[in-house]
Amino acid sequence: MLNVLKNRFEQGCKTSRYPKEKVQLLPRYRGRPEINPDAPSDVASACAAACPQNAIDPVAGTIDMGRCVFCGTCERISNGRFVTFTQDFAIAVAEKEHLFTKGDIPTLAEHSRQHFKKLFGRSLQLRQVSAAGCNACEADLNVLATPFFDLARFGINFVASPRHADGIVVTGPISRNMKTALLQTYEATPEPRVVIAVGSCTLTGGPFRGSPEITEGLDTLLPVDLFIPGCPPHPMTNLHALLNFFK
Amino acid sequence: MLEIVFLIPFLTGAGAFFLPNKIGRCLLVLTGAIHLILSVMIWAGRLTPIFPEYFAVTPEGLLSLLVISLLFFLISIYTIAYLKASDIHAENIFTGSMLLFLSTMTMVTLSDHIMVMWIAIEATTLASAPLIYTHRTAASLEATWKYVLICSVGIAMALLGSVLVTVAMDVGKVDAPISFTAMTDVAKKMDPMWLKAGFVFILVGYGTKMGLAPMHTWLPDAHSEAPSPASALLSGVLLNCAYLGIFKTNKIMHAAGLADFSGPILIVFGLISIMAAATFILKQTEYKRMLAYSSIENMGIIAFGTGIGGLGAYGAMICLIHHSLIKSSLFLTSGNILLGFGSRLIEHTGNLVNRMPKTFVAFFGGFAGISGFPPFGIFIGELLIIIGAFRTGNYVGAGFFILSLCVIFAGFANNVMKISFDTSDTTIRIKEEASLVWPQYALLLTSLVLCFWMPDTLHQTIIHAVNFDDFSTQAVEIVSRGGKVVQLFAFQANGTFRLMAVLRTDVLLVAACDAPETYPALTAKCEPFHMFEREIAEQYGIRPEGHPWLKMVRYHANCRSVDDVFGNDYTEDIPGRYDYYSVAGDEIHEVAVGPVHAGVIEPGHFRFNCIGERVLNLEIQLGYQHRGAEDLLLKADRKRIAFIAENIAGDTSVGHSLCHAQAMEALSGIQTDDGSKIIRTIGLELERIANHVGDLGALSGDVAFLPPANYCGRMRGDFLNMSLLMCGNRFGKGLVRPGGVRFPMNDDNRRDLTARIRELKPHVKHTIDLLFSTSSVRSRFEGCGTVSRSDAEKLGLVGPAGRACSIPYDVRRCFPTEHYGQLDIPENAEPTGDVWARAKVRADEVMQSIAFIESLLPDPVETEIIDMADMALAPDSFVVTLNEAWRGELSHCILTDGAGGILRYKVKDPSFHNWNGLSMSLRNTGISDFPLNNKSYNLSYCGFDL
Ligand code: SF4
Ligand code: SF4
C-alpha cells in the first residue's frame, strides 16, 4: 500500500489545462501549412512533383490536407519558400472544401453544426470504427483517454456499442473487407448521428490511394460532418476538433 | 531460329573436310566466335526454337551450352597455335571433326525430346572418334576402337532405357509428348516400375559415356591419345553432355517421387568412380592419363552430389561448370608439356617451373583449382556436397567421399611436384608461344571470377536447376532440425510461377524453385510452414495437398484468376462468413466477437468454443484490414513506396520503414553513415519502449489495478513525444528513408532527450516494480494462457511471445543491423510461457532499451540528412532484410526484374507468426482472461492483413 502511495506522489498530476492554457508542441511538429503565394512557379512545381501524396496544386497554390501526410518534403525542398509548416495543430474542418488550404483554415467553431452543439455539447458518446487503419490513428484517439488529455472531463467518451453512441469516428482507408461492417455500425447508431473522419486514409485513402482494395474517402460512402487531417492527427488536433465542433 | 546454333558448325564442319588447311583454321575460330555470340543471345532469350517439340532451352542445358561455347572458342584459338607447332596428318579431317563435334554437343544441350537427345549423344561419339585417331598410331587406333565399341554398347543401353521410359508412359496411360519437360510434368502418372527400369538403363548407358566407373575403361585411353585440344573438349564438355541425359532423367524420377530410388544408385556409382580414380591416380606414370582419371573422379563427384540432392545437387552444378573450365585448361597445358618434352611419361618431364615458366603457372593454377583449393569453385561445390551429405544423414558416403578426395589429392600432388620441380638433366628454357598459354589463363580466370562474382542470371540459372522436390525436402529437413521459416512465398517471373524460401538456422538460407500447380503440403510433415502455405494458396491459387488446415488467410481472390482454393465467392465482402471450426455437445456454446470491437482497436473476428467458462478453441479470422499493400508497392510511384511500406503497421512504423530502407539500400548500393545508424537504432528502441510501456499499463488495467494503468498510459505518451521531438511524428513516421534519416540529431536534441529520459526512467522503473510486486497482479498473470516451448517452436513464435516460451532468438543479437552490432543485447528468455512471462520479458526490454538509448546519447551524432535518395535498383536481384521490431522478427523481401523494376515485394510482420500463439494461449483458459492474453501479445491486425 505504501508503495502505491509513494508511486502516486512520484507521478504527480499530469493532466493538461488545455483549453484554459495554451499547449505548445515541439518544434519539429508539422501542423497547419502556410503557403507563400509569391513563390516562383518552378519551386512550386518541384514541390508538387516531389510530394508523395500528390497533394499540392502548384497553380492554385494550395495543399489538399486530406491527402497530405505532413511529411514536410515540400517544406524542405522549397527551403520554406513555397510551404512552411506551423506548430498550429488546429487543422480540423467541417467542409471538405476547407481541406484545400493556402494557409488559413476557417475557424472550426463557426462552421460546426449548431444543432449538434445543442444536442451533444454536454455529453457526447462516440463509437470508434477502425476500417483498415494502421493503428496509429486509432492509438492517437485512444490516447485521449489517458490522464494528460483526459477526454472524459469534457463529457466525451468512447463507448462499446453503436447503440449507445451519438456518432461514429472512422479511421483507416475503409478496406473492401471492412466496408459492410462499417456501414452496419453506422446503421446501428441511432439518429441524429455524427460522422467524424480521422486521418488522411479516411479522408482520401492516404498512403494507400490507388489500391483497389480500399475506398478513397469516407465521404463517398457516408455524409461526413467533421474532417480531421493528419497521418495520424496529433491528439491535440483531435481534442481541439471535438471541443470546437461540439462545445 | 534456335537450331541455327548447331546448324552453323555442322555446315562449316562439313565444309572444312574439303577446304585447305589455312581456310579450315580460320573457319574454326570464326565458327567458335559466332557460336559464342549465338549462345549469349540464347541466354538473353533472343532465339526460340523452330521445332519446340524437339528442342528447348532448359536451365541446365543453357548452362552447359554457355560452358561449351566459351570453351570451344578459347580452345579453337589454342588449336591454331597447336596445329602450327605440331604436325598432324590430315588436318582438314581434324578441324572438320572438331566442328562437327561442336555441332553435335550443342544439339545435346538443346534437345528436349528423349530420342533426339539419344541421337545427339550417339552423334557425338561418331564425330569425336576421328579426333582420337588423329595421330594414326597403333595405340591411338586401339583407343579409338575401345571408345567407339564401349560407348556404342553403352548408348544401346541408353536407347533401351529411353524406350522403357516411354513404355512407362504407355502403361501409366498418359498421353503426352515424349519431351523431358512434358514428361516431368506428368511423371506422377507414369508407371513407377518401368520408369525405374528405364532410369537404370539410361544411367548405365549415358554413365558409360560420362565415364562413371566401372564403365569408364575407354576414357583414360581416349583422353590421353587424342591431341590435347580434342582431349580438352572430350573432358571439358562431352562428359557434361552425357551427364545432361542422366540429369534430365533424374528430374523425371524426382517429379515422379522416385528420388529415393534414383538417389542411392547415383551415390553408389559416384563413389565407385571416385574410389576407382583414387586407386589409379596414385600410381600413374602418364600425366594425360592422370588428368583423365581426374575427370572420372569429378564425374563421380557430380553423380554423388546429384544423388544427394538439395544442396548436394547445387554443389554438383557448381562442380560441373568449374570442372569444365579447369580441366580443359589442364588438358591444353598438357599439350604444351607434350610439345615441349615430347613424351607423355611423367618421368621424362621435370623442372617445368624453370623450363616452361608460363606453362607452369597455368599447370599449377589448374592443379590448385581441380584439387579443390579455396577459393576455386570446385572447393565450394565439394563443400556444398559434403554439407548436403551430412544434412541428409549420408555419413558413410560423406566419409568415403572425403577419404577418396584426400587420396586423389596426394597422388595428384605427388605427380605435379615431379613434373614441376624435379631436377631434370637440363634447365634450358623451352620456347613457349603466347597463344599456347593465354587460353588456359583465360579459362582459369573465368573459373576464378565465377567464384567471386556470379552474374545473377547465371546464378538464377543454377538455382533454377534445383527442382521442387529437392527444394521441399531440404526445407522440411532444415526446419525439422530446428531451422525457422522467415519467409516462404510465391512470385511470377518471365511467365512462370516460382517459390522462394528464406529459412534461418544461425545463418540465413535462401532457395527458389519452380512452383508446381499442386504439391504435397510441407506443413503435413513440419508445422512451421502452416501459415505460409495458406498464404501462397490464397495469393497464387497453388494448392498444398494434404494441408491439415487449408483455410483462407485474408479473404481475397488470387492474383492468377484461377479457381479459388477455398471455394470462396469474393463478391461478398465479408471475411467472417465461413464455417468455423466448431465443437459439438450439450454444454458447448459459441461466442462471436468482432470485427468491430468494444475498444478503440483494429477489426478482426474471434470465435470462441467454450464449455462453461473454459475455452476449448479460439479461432481467429482476420483479413478485414487488407489494403493490398504488397500489390500497391509494385504499382505505385517510386516516391510513394517508402510511405506505403512505413504505414503497413503504424505502431511499427520505424520497424517497417527500416526494413524497407535497408532493402532499397542493398539493391541500390547506397551506404548509410554511422550517425544515421545511431538515429535509426534510437528510433526503433523508442518505438519498442512506447509500445511495451503502453501494453504493461493495459495489462494492469485488465486485472483492475489502476495506478500503473494510468501511469503507463501517460508515460507511453512521453516516449511517443520523444519520437515527435526527433522527427515531428509521434510514431516515427518519416524518420527513416532509404539512404539514411530525414532528421539530424543535434546537440540540443540530445540534451533534451537525455533530460527527458533522466526524469522518466525512475518513474518507469518504479511503476514496473509496483506492477510486478503486487500480489493480486501476479496471481492473475501467473499460469494464465500458457504456451509450451514445443508448441511455440511449431507455431514459429517470434519476439517477446517466443522469448516468453524460452526461445531466446532476437534479431538484434543474431542478425544485427544498424548500430546493434555494437550493443550488448542480453538474452531475455523466460521459461513459463504465460502472461506473466510475456509481461516480464517486455518489462525487462523496456529497461534495457532505455539503457541502450542512454548509452547512445552522450556522444555527438553526425549524419548527412537525406530526403529522397535517387535509387536505381540492381536488376535481377533479391534482398531480404530482418529487424527486431517490438513484436519480433520483421522481414521485407524485394525481387527485381531485368530492368531493375520491383517484381515482387513481400512483407512479413511478426504477427503473421504470433496470432496462432494467442489462439494456443486460450486453450483451456477462462474466456474472461481473453483480454488479458490479447494484450500480453498485442498483435497487429493490419500488419497481418497487409
Ligand atoms: S507535407 Fe504534405 S504536401 Fe508536403 S510533400 Fe508531404 S504530403 Fe506533400
Ligand atoms: S492516416 Fe496515416 S496514421 Fe492514420 S491510418 Fe492512415 S496511414 Fe495510419
- Return d(Cα B830, Cα B839) in angstroms, integer: 10
Give SS3 for B143.
Answer: helix
Would an 8 Å CB–CB cutoff place B577 in contact with chain A?
A: no
Domain boundaries along the sequence of chain B: 261-466, 473-579, 629-945
pLDDT for B566: 84
A244 lines ligand 1 (CB under 6 A): no
Q: In 3D, which of B228, B251, B247 has the Cα closest to residue B88? A: B228
**Can you tell me which residue has the cell 508445422?**
B527
Q: Whose CA is nearest to atom 2 of ligand 2?
A: A231
Would an 8 Å CB–CB cutoff place B759 in contact with chain A?
A: no
pLDDT for B427: 67
Compare all CA atoms of chain B with the CA of A230 and give the residue at the minimum distance.
Answer: B729
Contact B855, B823 (CB under 8 A): yes
Q: Ligand 2 pocket check: which of A68, A91, A137 to mutate, most ligand atoms within 8 Å of Cβ?
A: A137
B785: left (phi over 0), alpha (psi -120 to 50) or beta: left
pLDDT for B239: 84
**For A3, which of B595, B627, B770 is closest by C-beta distance?**
B770
Contact B677, B819 (CB under 8 A): yes
Q: In 3D, which of B895, B935, B892 has the Cα closest to residue B649? A: B892
A214 lines ligand 2 (CB under 6 A): no
Is B640 within 8 Å of A207 when comparing Cβ atoms? yes
A63 lines ligand 1 (CB under 6 A): yes
Residues of A in contact with B773 (CB under 8 A): 3
pLDDT for B521: 85
| C-alpha cell recorded at residue B575 | 471475411
- Return d(Cα B617, Cα B612) in angstroms, integer: 13
Which domains does chain A carry?
A: 109-246 (3.40.50.12280)
Separate counts of helices (H) and strands (E) for chain B: 36, 13
Sheet holding A62-64, edge to edge: A56-57, A62-64, A100-101
Is B868 within 8 Å of A135 when comparing Cβ atoms? no
> Residue B167 belongs to what H/E stretch?
helix B138-171
pLDDT for B457: 46
Compare all CA atoms of chain B with the CA of A205 and give the residue at the minimum distance.
Answer: B627
| C-alpha cell recorded at residue B308 | 544427394
Q: Ligand 1 pocket check: which of A36, A47, A51 to mutate, most ligand atoms within 8 Å of Cβ?
A: A51
- Return d(Cα B370, Cα B365) in angstroms, integer: 9
Would an 8 Å CB–CB cutoff place B603 in contact with chain A?
A: yes
Q: What is the DSSP letter of B434?
A: G
Which parts of chain B register pLDDT below 70? 423-427, 429-430, 453-466, 576, 869-870
Give SS3 for B363.
Answer: helix
- Return d(Cα B241, Cα B155) in angstroms, integer: 13
Is B717 within 8 Å of A138 when comparing Cβ atoms? no
Instruction: Kindly give the residue spans of alpha helices, DSSP state H, lying in B647-734.
Output: 653-668, 674-702, 706-727
Average of pLDDT values for A133-158? 88
A231 lines ligand 2 (CB under 6 A): yes
From the CA of B169, how far away is ligand 1's center (Å)?
64
> pTM to 2 decimals?
0.68
pLDDT for A169: 93
- Nearest bound ligand to CA A77? 1
Q: In 3D, which of B317, B310, B301, B321 has the Cα closest to residue B254? A: B310
**For B650, which of A129, A136, A161 is closest by C-beta distance?**
A136
Note the ipTM here: 0.93
pLDDT for B24: 84
**For B635, which of A160, A210, A214 is closest by C-beta distance?**
A210
Would an 8 Å CB–CB cutoff place B651 in contact with chain A?
A: yes
Contact B892, B881 (CB under 8 A): yes
CB contacts under 8 A, B 344-373 vs A, are: none
From the CA of A43, how far away is ligand 1's center (Å)?
14
Would an 8 Å CB–CB cutoff place B655 in contact with chain A?
A: no
- Return d(Cα A190, Cα A169) in angstroms, integer: 14
- Return d(Cα B521, Cα B207) in angstroms, integer: 34
pLDDT for B443: 84
Q: In 3D, which of B516, B585, B448, B460 has the Cα closest to residue B878? A: B460
- Return d(Cα B796, Cα B910) in angstroms, integer: 10
- Enumerate residues 6+ apart whose C-beta is below 8 A from B550: B521, B534, B537, B543, B544, B565, B566
Atom of ligand 1 nearest to the CA of A85: 1
Q: In 3D, which of B461, B578, B551, B555 has the Cα closest to residue B876? A: B461
Is B601 within 8 Å of A6 when comparing Cβ atoms? no
pLDDT digits (tens, 9 = 90+) for B370-398: 887 777 788 888 888 888 888 777 888 88
**CB-based burial label for A152 (10 Å; 0-12, 13-18, 19+):** exposed
| Superfamily designation of domain B629-945 | Cytochrome-c3 Hydrogenase, chain B (1.10.645.10)
pLDDT for B691: 94
Per-residue b or e along B305-337, where b marks 16 or more CB atoms closer than 10 Å to that residue's CB: bbbbbbbbbbbbbbbbbbbbbbbbbbbbbbbbb
How many Å is the maximal CA-CA distance in chain B? 103
Average of pLDDT values for A54-80? 90
| C-alpha cell recorded at residue B537 | 494458396
**For B628, which of A14, A70, A211 is closest by C-beta distance?**
A211
- Return d(Cα B800, Cα B845) in angstroms, integer: 9
How many Å is the maximal CA-CA distance in chain A? 67
Residue type, B585: G
